[in-house]
Amino acid sequence: MKVASYDIVFQEVPGETTLALNISGCPNRCPGCHSPHLWTDTGEELTRELIDGLTARYGSGVTCVCFMGGDNDPEGVMQLAEHVHRQGIKTAWYSGRDWVPQRDAAPEWWRRLDDGRLDYLKTGPYIEACGGLKSETTNQRFYKRNDGGGWTECTHVFRRKV
């Protein structure tokens, strides 16, 4: 798994100052994708040491690390999320897969690996006609882990109140 770029962002995970890691090698190739450069296998290897260096550089200013992609290696994402979570930093994953974590249809790797390593999750491929998370018609969903260990859908937080 490789990271093509990274940045500090404020809108990907509401209420968090997030280190967003843009992971290359996306297998989804959604038509109308805003980041088609992430379809190729480019960038540097995403390792624990790289993440540690970035979180040390930004210090306590970063409250969350978001894996933007990684659908080509979900177990790798979960392992790195566990590493970050052990440091007391929240974790998020933006996946282009189309499934809901509460359903029994969640992939086996999710049922086997998700034991609280993620605090936030965005699911769903980008469908241009539906729009992104800010759109009322989006197919994508944003979840937050609740105190009981389950997931609460909170896609609505991306829509501005008029």
User: What pLDDT, on a 0 to 100 scale, did the predictor assign at position 33?
Assistant: 81
User: What pLDDT, on a 0 to 100 scale, did the predictor assign at position 113?
Assistant: 47
- The residue range of the domain holding 97 is 2-158
User: What pLDDT, on a 0 to 100 scale, did the predictor assign at position 161?
Assistant: 63
| Count of domains observed in the chain | 1
- HSE-up (13 A, CA, CB side) for residue 72: 18
User: What pLDDT, on a 0 to 100 scale, did the predictor assign at position 115?
Assistant: 67
Q: What's the token pair of residue 3? A: 């990271």
Q: What's the token pair of residue 96? A: 């282009």
User: What pLDDT, on a 0 to 100 scale, did the predictor assign at position 160?
Assistant: 73
Q: Residue 22 and residue 93: Cα distance in Å, rounded? A: 11
**What residues of the chain score a pLDDT lower than 50?**
112-113
User: What pLDDT, on a 0 to 100 scale, did the predictor assign at position 101?
Assistant: 52
Residue 30 belongs to a domain with what CATH number?
A: 3.20.20.70
